[in-house]
Amino acid sequence: MVAHLCSFLGAALLGVVLALALCATLVPRLMGLQSYAIVSGSMEPTLPVGGLVYAEPFSAEELVPGDIAVFWRNGDVVIHRVEENDPEARELITRGDANDGVDAHPALYDNVIGRAMGCVPAIGYFILALGSLPGKFVLGWIVLMGAALTIIGTVISNLARH
């Protein structure tokens, strides 16, 4: 009984970590999408803080009002809704859904990464945590504990057979 419980818990820990890694990062990248964690409330409730947004490469010229653009501004990735597309000036007028007015600075076409495709709530916290040293330690600890529990379960099971 203890052997099965240890093996199950170990496999479950490893499975959860693997599933999160695959679903949150690897599979979207294979589909040509980039992921970005939401760190401000400017797009709430559409894109909640802690959510993970997936962006597809998309031409700035083709973005229309209502689309959610992903672009660089002052070294940061910004995800805001397109209010107006000005092809002559080669810029987008954008606004965060939770903001009263349009952004003070337009998004230049050359800085557009793409168009937001969807958001998975809360998983962005996990991704952000992995970028920090404490987050990497916790992830390493979870993987080690999962592996240790699986090994312990196997050893106990083998000893019980003899």
Beta carbons within 10 angstroms of residue 83's beta carbon: 15
Q: Which domain holds residue 147?
A: 1-31+131-162
Q: Which tokens belong to 138?
A: 């916790």
Q: How big is the CA angle at 141 (ends 158 and 26), to the nearest 5 degrees?
A: 100
Number of domains in the chain: 2
Distance CA 28, CA 47 (A): 18
Q: What is the pTM of this model?
A: 0.77
106 and 136 together in one domain = no
Whether the pLDDT of residue 20 is over 80: the answer is no
pLDDT tens string 43-81? 999 999 999 999 999 999 999 999 999 999 999 999 999
91 and 140 together in one domain = no
27 and 37 together in one domain = no
pLDDT > 90: percent of the chain: 54
78 and 154 together in one domain = no
CB 126 within 8 A of CB 24: yes
Q: Coil, helix or strand for 119?
A: strand
How close are the terminal C-alpha atoms of the chain, in Å? Answer: 16
Residue 15: its pLDDT value, please? 86
Mean pLDDT of the chain: 91
Residue 142: pLDDT band with limits 50, 70, 90? confident
Residue 63: its pLDDT value, please? 98
4 and 44 together in one domain = no
